[in-house]
Structure 1
């Protein structure tokens, strides 16, 4: 999940808003008469293999972004690595399948179901009779009750990051025997399957001190195929060892070492034999694909590099020979390329999407008509192609704020807002009072001077005005496509050379250094737009030009994001909206700009959730004034919301009828689309480099990894296809 929201927790998600109900949402939106969820756009690639083919023993060295600050996933500074450790070492009542839907984890549960609805909801858990903690004690009602008390929100001494769902529980008690746990809810809770995953032992949850400090650096008691052996902050790694008390299929690996490796160093670390598995950026994927032209079971990337195309093996070999002649650095690079032949790229789509966020709290975007105009100016399919097309992944725009294709709540509700329509965008702007003409020359000279100052400073950070002070945009820059039959007279915007990144709520970076100038599909203008090179005149209202602050991170890992922003700016330029692009440091991007509302437009990503009625609620909740006069936005960083959307979420989480809950969520999503506070663009790519003999691991997509099945093929065993589906 990489850098689309620096510093946020990966367990939550994004988007928000709707004004006081101006738009009429189509009656079909949110209708559950037929399943609109579909299937995931891309399957997982993990090289599935039967356990009989996997060698017993071995250490998997897995690159991660950081050694986590805490092993307690319910604390505010927990991150994606905290969650990964919990998956391998702690009980989970439900796991996600390949469609991103929760399924009973049979290693811990025989069954779990709602046994009473009146007068109150009661869920009965029947535990696996073999399930025990690593100290030999049975997993039981005492552990459930301790976790409920810690996370209920009733005791402020517990430093918890969230209590959603646990605050609805009234009591927990032992059932007919030690293997049964009865959970009684004071208020009905649709997302009850989200609870107790992970489940911590009562020794962690039993007191505020043990909760706050006891599980930050170590987990003394676990109950998974692996246990935490050592957290080594000096060497930046966490070692998980096979759990001898595990009752399920024994782990094939002896150890898993989660080692912190910066993303821009992972290709070299793979080649040097320091790691076996790593999420990588497209430039590293290109290197591995190029090195492996002589073989490999992973699906090759498309459009990544001319040398990576079929029939280019001789060219690649010649290139390596030439590199060896170019001094020490060239020879080292060539040796690394030879070593990378032992790896392959397994790719899928992350369960996360990148969005364009529009800050509706002030300025031009406080007017819903302007936000809708911005949205109607965008060709979301073209933007998806910019990022996903070169990787050979499905370039399909995301149609929901609350789920991704394949998940139960998913339906394409973007029709509530409408697709790209330049004429409609311009009409909305005119209706909002923005017209051509006005004192733009003085403003332009001012910004030109600022740009000159930024350039003279020699820094990567700075500001420029798209459509005013960018010389490239003043020249004819829209080329007619070579095949008008296929593209129906649309035009492509050349890249101005600005490359961007992709961000996510876990605060990590995802780089795409492979998208070169003119090397990917650009923004499109529909029929009826001005001729190439004739973008719409700037718009003015009350003597002020319509210019939006587009804030982006400046780090090297943000190349794809800036490319997408460049395309968006070009599209907005066609309807008369100018963008002032400001690049800021990665450390301050989210904290000082997104979270604090110091932006008009921004790009960041959020993970998808299997429980959107709970997890998406704070992202779209209507901001309310706090006692000190500030605005409490929860996670709604677009600062737009309505009572109607809040009510739909409340109804969805409070009904035990699954179809009704899904229908309510889809209606909420339609209204969020109509409000245009957040525009989902594309599902994020997931690229994983692995040793070719590593199986049951790679690009997992939605599915929770099965840690006990990961391992290396036995000698002589046939390498399976990385893209085959796992049973």
Structure 2
């Protein structure tokens, strides 16, 4: 999971971010007279990587590629693995399958001649036939011993292995050598539909063979690899990971002689590009505005509009020359941003209120606010479990319904929330006393955090909700179950500004302490019940890359206000956003993102599983931070994971998605934009979309050569 401010959660399935494979077969309409409709559709945007045939790519050169961090571990199966861990693994380790441009799994012929289910009764058996030339960098053949060591390490049966995930491996009964050294026979104790997700990446038995080597041996180095590149060094002092050509690689040789993954903060990347320090970097929209007028933007439309480009050019003359050698390559990440509704307690524990929130939203308008200025397709996401183009995708949002103000208001009325109801005045506590509870919660649940609330703008326009910290209140604690967030009134600069609203705008003097009568025309139409206003705490990150989230949050607040729901926006540091607020349940509303796994029956289950009480009395939510789940959804996931028939598997996944929509715990909004600044002569690299990068094809054009729009490195 991540929010748009570049906060990326640690994989558990990094957030299953490393498992992007999909099951199922695309049915192509029009090939037969009775072909069924393809519900999965096509990707909204394909990879934008300046594709070029290999004979146009120069031999040699170093690619300097900006990343978020130097990884703490090179073992993708550990809890502190991150996106850079995954990037290194893709370049230096075997994967049995990789994704194509449609987000579908494709056998990697460099490692695997074939893999198929050869038996279903009495046990499921998968037979892998490995490529004959596939060897580790120490000369040993890749074989059954490596598969078996990885299974034992990840099976969950030995607690000495500090693993972050074992899904799928825990279903394996045994692994054996087949008819020869190139065959691996995997027998499952229980049927497992997502078997293609396993052994990608595959580590050598040297890493997986013992708990010590698993826990510590692969954190700082990988002595044995088997990819087009090998690990040269992990340099924490200079914030860099260096990869070099693998001399034992048997496939198409890598064009680049070296890839340097350089840790560069998001807000420092434009300067690093202009200074000639990096060649490739994911960027945010503000950086794209700097590059577009100087260098160019590829894709369906210029980025941004002509007036904005001219304004950016006028304000940034200093680095325009340095940026002229770069262009912006645009796609959509295999990640979607959602509005999460915390259903643990408070108003959103009522499904009617959650559904009302959802029906108040114009998801098309929210997608357009983020994607339309970038020239990217502004189509709302219709599934929690897949994205358009992936096999499991189907727009199931109809199970909840689209924007409908009247229906939203009817749901709220049915739940007992009425307009213009009396609001009890809450007296300010004496020093050392706890105050009355936060809005929408029982008074016993929390304390007064000095929040001030903005109602409707009396000019008739959308207003923004805000808050500020009462400088006299030093008694609140973070460990309260609800209403316990610190009133971190953070602005984009990350500093606290006591007495200042986090977003500018709205009617002057519109602030009013909780419980006071609203000024005429301000909040007269807001909802209340039992003397308490319906006001939801909306938690957002404050980092420099989170402007898109703040824009979306402002629009959501305006949409909710029109049906009588107030919001209180709280901005917190990126570092505390997930740990102290999302994971701990200290929010009513929040925006964050999930990757779309190609194995939703396995990877999405922890995100939507019904929370259950743990042995210590706490609530075990796994990755379901909305705390909304049902037994029916859990059952459908379990059925799908054990169903080997592809059509039935997809049907069960889509049914589960419909039930998730109906429960209204999370509302998918839009697929996240992927903007990459790339040197104009760098090819087969950029914004990859669903596609797994083909590292051996990346490189710099030969002098005089030009990339071809029809070329492809899917191959």
TM-score normalised by the shorter chain: which range applies? 0.7 to 0.9
- Under a length normalisation based on structure 2, what TM-score does the superposition of the two structures give? 0.84
Which residue number corresponds to residue 68 of structure 1? 71
Which residue number corresponds to residue 24 of structure 2? none
Output the CA distance in 2 between the equivalents of 1:726 and 1:47: 12
TM-aligned CA deviation for residue 575 of structure 1: 0.6
TM-aligned CA deviation for residue 445 of structure 1: 11
CA contact (8 A) 1:374 1:572 kept: yes
Which residue number corresponds to residue 414 of structure 2? 431
Query: Which of 362, 368, 385 is matched with 2:345 structurally?
Result: 362
Query: Which of 720, 724, 727 is matched with 2:708 structurally?
Result: 720
TM-aligned CA deviation for residue 557 of structure 1: 1.9
1:672 aligns with 2:663: no
Output the CA distance in 2 between the equivalents of 1:517 and 1:625: 42
Query: Which of 245, 249, 252 is matched with 1:246 structurally?
Result: 249
CA displacement 1:217-257 (0-9 Å, x = unmatched): 00000000000000000000000000000000000000000
Which residue number corresponds to residue 182 of structure 1? 185
Which residue number corresponds to residue 459 of structure 2? 475
TM-aligned CA deviation for residue 465 of structure 1: 2.6
Query: Which of 667, 682, 698 is matched with 1:694 structurally?
Result: 682
Query: Which of 364, 367, 370 is matched with 1:384 structurally?
Result: 367
Query: Which of 332, 340, 361 is matched with 1:349 structurally?
Result: 332
1:578-657 pair list within 5 angstroms: 578-657=566-645
CA contact (8 A) 2:464 2:557 kept: no
TM-aligned CA deviation for residue 723 of structure 1: 9.7
Query: Which of 31, 38, 41 is matched with 1:35 structurally?
Result: 38
Which residue number corresponds to residue 229 of structure 1? 232
1:507-518 pair list within 5 angstroms: none
CA contact (8 A) 1:299 1:346 kept: no
Output the CA distance in 2 between the equivalents of 1:170 and 1:188: 11
Which residue number corresponds to residue 482 of structure 2? none
Moved over 6 A (4+): 443-447, 494-498, 533-536, 722-725
Greater RCO (CA < 8 Å, at least 6 residues apart): 1
TM-aligned CA deviation for residue 437 of structure 1: 2.8
CA displacement 1:439-460 (0-9 Å, x = unmatched): 338469999xx9xxxxxxxxxx
Which residue number corresponds to residue 379 of structure 2? 396
Closer/same/farther in 2, CA of residues 55 and 111 from structure 1, 3 Å limit: same
Closer/same/farther in 2, CA of residues 674 and 723 from structure 1, 3 Å limit: farther
Which residue number corresponds to residue 46 of structure 1? 49
CA contact (8 A) 1:13 1:608 kept: no
1:81 aligns with 2:65: no
TM-aligned CA deviation for residue 302 of structure 1: 4.0
Output the CA distance in 1 between the equivalents of 2:298 and 2:361: 37
Q: SS in structure 1 opposite 2:290?
A: helix
CA contact (8 A) 1:14 1:635 kept: no
CA displacement 1:475-498 (0-9 Å, x = unmatched): 221xxxxxxxxxxxxxxx588999
Closer/same/farther in 2, CA of residues 369 and 216 from structure 1, 3 Å limit: same
Output the CA distance in 2 between the equivalents of 1:550 and 1:299: 34
* Structure 2: runs of 5 or more not aligned: 18-34, 430-434, 439-448, 468-491, 493-502, 506-520
Q: SS in structure 1 opposite 2:324?
A: helix
Output the CA distance in 1 between the equivalents of 2:413 and 2:15: 34
CA contact (8 A) 2:465 2:568 kept: no
CA contact (8 A) 1:44 1:725 kept: no
1:201-220 pair list within 5 angstroms: 201-220=204-223
Closer/same/farther in 2, CA of residues 38 and 297 from structure 1, 3 Å limit: closer
Closer/same/farther in 2, CA of residues 538 and 723 from structure 1, 3 Å limit: farther
Output the CA distance in 2 between the equivalents of 1:660 and 1:441: 54
Closer/same/farther in 2, CA of residues 175 and 417 from structure 1, 3 Å limit: same
Give the aligned length. 631
Closer/same/farther in 2, CA of residues 291 and 462 from structure 1, 3 Å limit: farther
Which residue number corresponds to residue 503 of structure 1? none
Output the CA distance in 2 between the equivalents of 1:131 and 1:104: 14
Query: Which of 276, 284, 290 is matched with 1:273 structurally?
Result: 276
CA contact (8 A) 2:290 2:312 kept: no
1:375 aligns with 2:363: no
Which residue number corresponds to residue 301 of structure 1? 302
TM-aligned CA deviation for residue 569 of structure 1: 0.5
Closer/same/farther in 2, CA of residues 70 and 113 from structure 1, 3 Å limit: same
Query: Which of 538, 550, 556 is matched with 2:544 structurally?
Result: 556
CA contact (8 A) 1:298 1:344 kept: no
Output the CA distance in 2 between the equivalents of 1:604 and 1:136: 44
Closer/same/farther in 2, CA of residues 719 and 656 from structure 1, 3 Å limit: closer
Output the CA distance in 2 between the equivalents of 1:113 and 1:621: 30
* Structure 1: runs of 5 or more not aligned: 16-31, 324-332, 451-460, 478-492, 499-510, 519-532
CA displacement 1:525-545 (0-9 Å, x = unmatched): xxxxxxxx8987111111111
Output the CA distance in 2 between the equivalents of 1:401 and 1:80: 22
Closer/same/farther in 2, CA of residues 339 and 300 from structure 1, 3 Å limit: farther
CA displacement 1:273-300 (0-9 Å, x = unmatched): 000000000111111111126xx76665
Which residue number corresponds to residue 525 of structure 2? 537
Output the CA distance in 2 between the equivalents of 1:182 and 1:286: 53
- Under a length normalisation based on structure 1, what TM-score does the superposition of the two structures give? 0.83
